[in-house]
Chains A and B, each alone.
Chain A
Amino acid sequence: QQQVKQSPQSLIVQKGGIPIINCAYENTAFDYFPWYQQFPGKGPALLIAIRPDVSEKKEGRFTISFNKSAKQFSLHIMDSQPGDSATYFCAAAENYGGATNKLIFGTGTLLAVQP
């Protein structure tokens, strides 16, 4: 019940395309859903996050869509660029009392954006 399932494992798109990465969860107590971007040899960098009280959030070229009833959320990258090539992780947490609870990560999606 603590798992976060992520798909696809890898993704190749052309420059300008819109890669979509999907995640699903079971624990209905999760109430904070961030996405992280990780380049080789670096730590994960927070991209964007959403709470279950909204269905969509946009920050620049990154959009999260959230479906509470289906317990699914996804990341869309608009106008993708070769510099977006990285591994993307979804995560979930129970954000009790305003403190950050442990993050449960998906298995990651390796994205390659071809020029």
Chain B
Amino acid sequence: DAGVTQSPTHLIKTRGQQVTLRCSPKSGHDTVSWYQQALGQGPQFIFQYYEEEERQRGNFPDRFSGHQFPNYSSELNVNALLLGDSALYLCASSTGQVPEAFFGQGTRLTVV
């Protein structure tokens, strides 16, 4: 079992650009959540996808959007990047059967 996989592991973008991050959930999981973790902070919930629909959303602007595909993988898109978007972006997968959520290794995004 490969667990939750995210790509890329590191990314450097210029302010104003757009970025797409990808996540493959753990085998058997159908729900994907995205979190932003700033340096020295706890992860902050961005949104959650289930059955290809955004089910919940945290306090993040519309510049943050996502998508879930029929195979349950997911993308996080961030438009008009700001310096403050620099963070570790984490994907967590889960299933409706049990509450446990498992995280990937994250994508370190640096905006310059």
Q: Which residues in A have some Cβ–Cβ distance to B below 8 Å?
A: 6, 32, 34, 36, 41-46, 49, 89, 91, 93, 95, 97-108
Contact = CB atoms under 8 A, between A and B. Distances in A.
A82 B105 CA distance: 22
A95 B102 CA distance: 15
B102 A99 contact: no
B101 A103 contact: yes
Interface string B20-34: 000000000001010
A30 to B, nearest CB: 12
A108 B56 CA distance: 24
Contacts of B105: 41-43
Interface in B72-105: 90, 92, 94-105
A41 B33 CA distance: 19
Contact of B56 (A44, A46, A91, A101): A101
B42 interface: yes
Of the listed residues B41, B44, B101, the one surrounded by the most CB atoms of chain A closer than 10 A to its CB is B101
A15 to B, nearest CB: 26
A107 B43 contact: no
A101 B40 CA distance: 24
B48 interface: yes
Contacts of A108: 40-42
A91 B42 CA distance: 9
A112 B103 CA distance: 23
